[in-house]
Amino acid sequence: MDSANSPAILVVEDERRIARLIELELEHVGFAVTIAGDGETGLRLALAQDFEVILLDLMLPGLGGIEVCKALREHKRTPIIMLTARDRTEDKVSGLDAGADDYITKPFATEELLARVRAALRKGVSRQELKLADLIILPEQRRAIRAGVMLELTTREFDLLHFLMRHADKVVSRESILRQVWGYDFEGETNVVDVYIRYLRMKVDEPFESPLIHTIRGVGYVLRKP
Ligand code: CA
């Protein structure tokens, strides 16, 4: 496994046996794992490096899981899964209140751990802003900003722009746009794509100096730098 491409996971857990077990399970499926044995170390590492998911034990000596979570949330939105030894509702609620995304109760099955880590990874990806030239897309807030100006897009226009942005520099066909953005196998007319591309151009390109949406005749469209 090429560790440079493995999603980086931080495990903040003072019980070495549990930390080691989690490390083995996650590394086995291709994650790169860093272990912190206490809250202070965990917080320092989480702030200094970009992890894709953080597994954070609730009960830590010194700086506790809730405090680490709160302190981290002032700076970063890395998905956090709280690990709690107790199946107590108040622990879960206080973790979620502190900004955690999910929690898992110890002892847990490997399948559950992996499923929750994958879900947290997807959440993290959806939070990442996308950039192309002076266009920025914030998927989670469903916002698009060009040259500092917030674009007023309908739901469908946003979905279309988001799709083009995820495939920036690649030519996408009308058919694949229909399938991915409209979400069904469209038989026949693909004119609806052209109509929406026109709407998008009026909002994304025309008010600005340089067009980002380009037509590739006979093939489809591409979003790329001017
Ligand atoms: Ca603990």
pLDDT (tens digit, 9 = 90+) per residue, 201-218?
999 999 998 999 999 998
pLDDT (tens digit, 9 = 90+) per residue, 70-88?
999 998 889 999 998 766 7
Strands 143-146 vs 135-138: parallel, antiparallel or unpaired: antiparallel
- Residue whose C-alpha is closest to residue 180's, from 202, 201, 196, 169: 196
Angle at CA of residue 113, ends 109 and 119, nearest 5°: 145
pLDDT (tens digit, 9 = 90+) per residue, 111-133?
999 999 999 988 887 777 899 99
Distance 142 CA to ligand 1 centre (A): 37
Q: What is the rounded average pLDDT for all residues in the chain?
A: 90
β-pair partners for 57: 83
pLDDT at position 180 is 86
Provide the pLDDT confidence category of residue 101 given band limits of 50, 70 and 90: very high
Looking at residue 38, the DSSP 8-state letter turns out to be: S
Distance 93 CA to ligand 1 centre (A): 18
pLDDT at position 183 is 77
Beta strands in the chain (DSSP E): 8-12, 32-36, 53-57, 80-84, 102-105, 130-132, 135-138, 143-146, 149-150, 172-173, 213-216, 220-223
How many CA atoms are closer than 13 Å to the CA of 2, on its beta-carbon side?
2
pLDDT at position 2 is 44
Specify the DSSP element, H or E, that contains 48.
helix 39-48
Tokens 């970063």 belong to: 76
| pLDDT: which is higher, 10 or 105 | 10
Q: Which of helix, strand or coil describes residue 74?
A: coil
Distance 95 CA to ligand 1 centre (A): 14
Provide the pLDDT confidence category of residue 107 given band limits of 50, 70 and 90: confident
pLDDT at position 1 is 42
Distance 70 CA to ligand 1 centre (A): 17
pLDDT over 70, % of the chain: 95
CA–CA dist 131, 113 (Å, integer): 32
Rounded mean pLDDT, 53-66: 94
Neighbours of ion ligand 1 (CB under 5 A): 14, 57, 59
167 alpha carbon, distance to own chain's centre: 16
Distance 80 CA to ligand 1 centre (A): 16
* Residue 185 predicted with pLDDT over 90: no
CA–CA dist 123, 59 (Å, integer): 25
Distance 59 CA to ligand 1 centre (A): 4
pTM equals 0.66
| 8 A C-beta contact, residue 22 and residue 53 | no
pLDDT at position 226 is 85
